[in-house]
Structure 1
Amino acid sequence: MLGFSCAHSCETQLLLFYACFYIVLAALFAICMQGLLVTLNHQYPKWQLDESRIGTNPGVSFRPRPDEAEGLPMITYVAANKTSVNEWVTLMDDYLAPYADHTLLPGGGKNQQICDFNTPPAGGKVCAFDVKNLGPCSVSGGYGYNKSAPCFFIKINRIYGWVPEYYDDIEDLPADMPDDLQNHIKELPAVERRQVWVTCKQLTNSEENLIGPISYHPSQGLPSYYYPYMNVDGYLSPLVAVHLARPQTKTSIDIECRAWAKNIIFRGGSRDRQGSLHLTLRID
């Protein structure tokens, strides 16, 4: 009986020890977490630009892109199949929903204003992006998917406080910039040259022009008045809609799209790609 009492007492003491130990451990963890949260700012990151893991070279991405996409990004569909077409149209609709309906934005989009190169956003405001000005890439036209003339949207990833260095000097354009873009820049007024330019080209090794004519809407660049990104409510990334008017069907077409700014580092290839993206288009 005495042995049982001692064993029971030791077991109770052991349970009390571990209970106190874990309570103290949980309390210390809570104190550390509280201290960490105090140092965080929800408006801006503590580490920015060169000091952050993101760095100062924004990535380039595109929409529509299925959530389950793995490996090389690919747009593939059957133009005569309404269900196949609607899958991509729905992805586009969902992505553009906050652009078209400002009530879906934080604060109902009240921070947005109409901007241009002479009217940058006022303090605490952001520039609206008009999706009604996308030509053949408009919502009403189904983004061209049912006509075998699809559109996709190019954007650059957000980096807090990053400001592009523009190719706005027509005497200092890079030698590898396509001639048609150089000519386009030279035709613009000086203030409108302040854009992050976008170009797309066929990568598929073929003597035939598989990609066909390319046009960009509402312009071929991302205007300066959308930068820098400062995490203000209602901000939407500017887009360039890329329209492929007559791409070859029943064949896979590799496409490279690149963003042009002096402080966007470009590196092509299948590994460690920077300042650009690679996608494959196939229309059956």
Structure 2
Amino acid sequence: MADKSKPGDYFNRPEKLGAWVGFKQFLWNPETKQFMGRTSSSWAKILIFYIIFYVILSAFFVALFLIFTSTLKDGRPKYELKESLIGANPGLGFRPMPPESNVESTLVWYEKQNTDYWVEELDKFLKGFNPNDGISRIDCKKKKPEHGESCEINLNAFSPCTSERKFGYPEGRPCIFLKLNKIYNWLPEYYNKSSELNQGMPETLKSHIKSREGSKKDLNVVWVSCEGENPADIENLGNSISYYSLGSEQGFLGNYFPFMNSDGYLQPLVAVQFSSVKTGVLINIECKAWSKNIAHDRSDRRGSVHFELMVDEPK
């Protein structure tokens, strides 16, 4: 065993360096030829390793991306209709929507003397249906669009639900615009024969369809109906409900289907005007779209939309 008392058996404690001197020695140590704690060969090895690692990693992600994009179809979803996440049962949407501060609300509530918000919301919404994009659109009331063609939307078809009339809000006759959710390549199966009508249809809609049977009017329509959800709502809503749309009095004209993601596509609309609303009362309203391949489920809002309407007199 070595004699601990002999000099040289122990290492001397390194000289304590100042902060600046220690930092300079960390950057470059002339005794060990190290730069930032590593020799030149060590830095070369680690640099080569990371270059190879990131090249392989990048190539891996590029290969995965190319494989993924090779499975996509240009301009159309990979999975359609029942194979897709949204399925083949469209729902309805409505406009105007309540303020974003109350995003979960479906209540259209206003005083007759204070309608600015609702009128502005509808103006902004309908502005998108009169675009200045240079795309030529056709009148789909007269013919069905061919591949790549899009239908025009004539906002005059919704009169009296127009901006000039402030969509009837100051008069207590508010207009609500309905739109059918877009589902790629979905084609409706029409109720165009009185013998095939759905028994759940309101009687007013059945009479409307029957009155047009045998005439030259187009019955290839996704019909729309709106009514109060409960007996009290039906009474407070009144019987004066008018429908204004593009080529049909109460629904979405069949020539606007299917949605094929063509350039400049504008989805069809239906304006519903409630002309005999009882003021000062909250009214629950449900609107439904009617086609043989549209199922209705109130809890999931399949094939329908719910909103509340409340019109107050000026204080």
- Is residue 2:92 matched to residue 1:60? yes
Alignment match, 1:244 = 274
Alignment match, 1:103 = 132
Q: Could you tell me how far 1:171 is from its partner in structure 2?
A: 0.9
- Is residue 2:298 matched to residue 1:283? no
Q: Kindly indicate whether the alpha-carbon contact (under 8 Å) linking 1:162 and 1:229 is maintained by their aligned counterparts in 2.
A: yes
Q: Could you tell me how far 1:204 is from its partner in structure 2?
A: 4.5
Alignment match, 2:80 = 48
Q: Could you tell me how far 1:234 is from its partner in structure 2?
A: 2.1
Alignment match, 1:76 = 109
Q: Could you tell me how far 1:259 is from its partner in structure 2?
A: 0.5
Q: Could you tell me how far 1:146 is from its partner in structure 2?
A: 1.6
Residue 155 of structure 1 is aligned with which of 179, 195, 206? 179
SS of residue in 2 equivalent to 1:96: helix
* Paired AA for residue 76 in structure 1: W
Structure with the largest fraction of helix: 1
- Is residue 2:217 matched to residue 1:185? no
Whole-angstrom distance in 1 between the partners of 2:179 and 2:285: 15
Q: Which of the pair has the greater relative contact order for Cα pairs under 8 Å at 6+ separation?
A: 1
* Paired AA for residue 216 in structure 1: Y
Whole-angstrom distance in 1 between the partners of 2:77 and 2:84: 9
> Which of the pair has more CA radius of gyration?
2
Residue 217 of structure 1 is aligned with which of 235, 244, 251? 244
Residue 29 of structure 1 is aligned with which of 61, 66, 81? 61
After TM superposition, what 4+ stretches of structure 1 lie above 6 angstroms from structure 2?
Answer: none
Q: Kindly indicate whether the alpha-carbon contact (under 8 Å) linking 1:75 and 1:282 is maintained by their aligned counterparts in 2.
A: yes
Higher mean alpha-carbon deviation, 1-10 vs 127-136, is at 1-10
Alignment map for 1:262-277 (pairs within 5 Å): 262-268=292-298, 271-277=299-305
Q: Kindly indicate whether the alpha-carbon contact (under 8 Å) linking 1:168 and 1:190 is maintained by their aligned counterparts in 2.
A: no
Cα shift readout 1:121-174 (whole Å, capped 9, x = no counterpart): 244322222110212212211111121211011111111111000001111111
Alignment match, 1:121 = 145
Whole-angstrom distance in 1 between the partners of 2:259 and 2:131: 18
* Paired AA for residue 204 in structure 2: D
Q: Could you tell me how far 1:194 is from its partner in structure 2?
A: 1.1
SS of residue in 1 equivalent to 2:292: coil
Work out the number of aligned pairs and report it: 273
Cα 1:136/1:230, change in 2 over 3 Å: same
SS of residue in 2 equivalent to 1:62: strand
Whole-angstrom distance in 1 between the partners of 2:131 and 2:271: 20
- Is residue 2:233 matched to residue 1:233? no
Q: Could you tell me how far 1:6 is from its partner in structure 2?
A: 10
TM-score by length of 2: 0.78
- Is residue 2:225 matched to residue 1:199? yes
Whole-angstrom distance in 2 between the partners of 1:23 and 1:75: 57
- Is residue 2:181 matched to residue 1:142? no
Q: Could you tell me how far 1:43 is from its partner in structure 2?
A: 1.7
Q: Could you tell me how far 1:20 is from its partner in structure 2?
A: 3.9
Q: Could you tell me how far 1:187 is from its partner in structure 2?
A: 1.1
TM-score by length of 1: 0.86
Alignment match, 2:25 = none
Q: Kindly indicate whether the alpha-carbon contact (under 8 Å) linking 2:108 and 2:309 is maintained by their aligned counterparts in 1.
A: yes
Alignment match, 2:291 = 261
State the identity as a percent.
Answer: 36
Q: CA RMSD in A?
A: 2.4
Whole-angstrom distance in 1 between the partners of 2:103 and 2:42: 54
SS of residue in 1 equivalent to 2:132: helix
Q: Could you tell me how far 1:201 is from its partner in structure 2?
A: 0.7
